[in-house]
A and B are shown apart, each in its own frame.
Chain A
């Protein structure tokens, strides 16, 4: 589980930060904190769907659900468990 958190955190750092030394934690507000703009969220969504072989419907892939690494992981786990 921690592993998923780290994978998502690493993706967010690589994909969205200009300065890789910037501090980012599992709880950093990504969208409301202006780190990820909601328009650029699509690549993160696509990454999660491809990595975890799930499909996230638009009404669940909201800026709120994507606001922290922790909340993203909760969402992804819900869809993984639905799959099995």
Chain B
């Protein structure tokens, strides 16, 4: 009990600083399961409100799908609730092995290892497979969990300008003499919704004998013609050496992740990746749910097709209304407002209209690039999107930004 007033004071002061900087995060409590419409209490104590959810990673609308729920129920009955063990002691059931095999097939790789989360996969993989003799070269906008993983590895590191192939090539030349070079990128970048040009990256990696690592958390299940991911979209299936992805977004949305790729790399993770070795196995109920999701997605592209149609519809609606969007062709569609305060006010007004969409601003996105990030789902029906669009237009009119260019919006509100 060394929690003295002095220690308490240290934390209180730090928390106050976070608050004063406008960076204090609060949770919004949801009183329903995840869906296109959810019941939210915000702020704390306010009456509950039914709103259209435009900010979940529930891309395929499977988070509460009856088939997935039923499969999870069944798995609970046949395989129990928990395993109370890490994988290699007594935490590997038949279904864990089956899931690894099914993911390997789905992604078109050589082998797969499950992790408690994709954060864990990213945190563990680089330390497990690289030494001081190697180098990691990452896109400057990769996800925070990858940055943590890179920091945990003894290999040398460097970064290249976002999606800039000339800069990447320059770095590959600079590190030509390293034993192993790994180029690291997200498949779909979660803040901008742009996709990494994997065809060009594969070509560069082949030219300079480098491995290619892709985090496909925001792609697996729906990017590419049959939803296999960004590598399918760019015609380079089988050529990505390391793919990490999550089951916490499109693939059912519960939890869990994996490293999938070259056989020896996966085996190295099984031997050495610390989050795999020292954290509990994925619960059987979740494994059962993900297995069902993969089965459904392997049989039909109906859900990813609907997601694509929805995303195109939403993007076109916003563009026709005169909003400035980040260019792209994924279900992540950022509405650019540039000014942080404007993004916050816009989000609050949308909520008043029954639309739940979150504003992002510095330091989550670059200074002067504040936005409302909208995420489309196959759970959305056209009437949801029409209602959301009407609300965006109403609020957009209020702030007089419709049909305005970036320059004009910045002139009105500042950066």
Contacts and interface: CB of A to CB of B under 8 A. Distances in A.
State whether these chains interact.
yes
Interface of A: 16, 18, 33-34, 37, 39-40, 42-43, 46
B367 A39 contact: no
A34 B366 contact: yes
A18 B367 contact: no
Contact of A40 (B140, B366, B367): B140
Given A18-B162, A37-B140, 10 more contacts: A18-B161, A18-B164, A34-B363, A39-B159, A40-B140, A40-B159, A42-B157, A42-B159, A43-B159, A46-B158
B137 to A, nearest CB: 10
A42 B367 CA distance: 21
**Interface size band for B:** 10 to 19
A62 to B, nearest CB: 16
A39 B146 CA distance: 12
A33 B162 contact: no
Contact of B362 (A34, A39, A42): A34
B178 to A, nearest CB: 13
Contacts of A16: 161
Contacts of A42: 157-159
B319 interface: no
Nearest to A17: B161
B159 A33 contact: no
DSSP class of B's interface residues: helix, strand, loop or mixed?
loop
A20 B120 CA distance: 37
A34 B362 CA distance: 9
A38 to B, nearest CB: 10
B283 to A, nearest CB: 33
Interface string B331-370: 0000000000000000000000000000000110011000
B367 A34 contact: yes
Contacts of B23: none
Nearest to A39: B147
B122 to A, nearest CB: 14
Contacts of B362: 34
A43 B366 contact: no
Interface string B124-158: 00000000000000001000000100100000011
A75 B102 CA distance: 54
B368 to A, nearest CB: 9
Contacts of B158: 42-43, 46
A46 B158 CA distance: 10
Nearest to A16: B161
A39 B147 CA distance: 8
Contacts of A46: 158
A33 B158 CA distance: 20
Contacts of A43: 158-159
B209 to A, nearest CB: 21
A76 to B, nearest CB: 20
Contacts of B161: 16, 18
Nearest to A40: B159
Interface in B168-202: none
When A and B form their complex, which 6 residue pairs have the shortest distance between CB atoms, in order from nearest? A40-B159, A34-B367, A43-B158, A34-B366, A39-B147, A40-B140
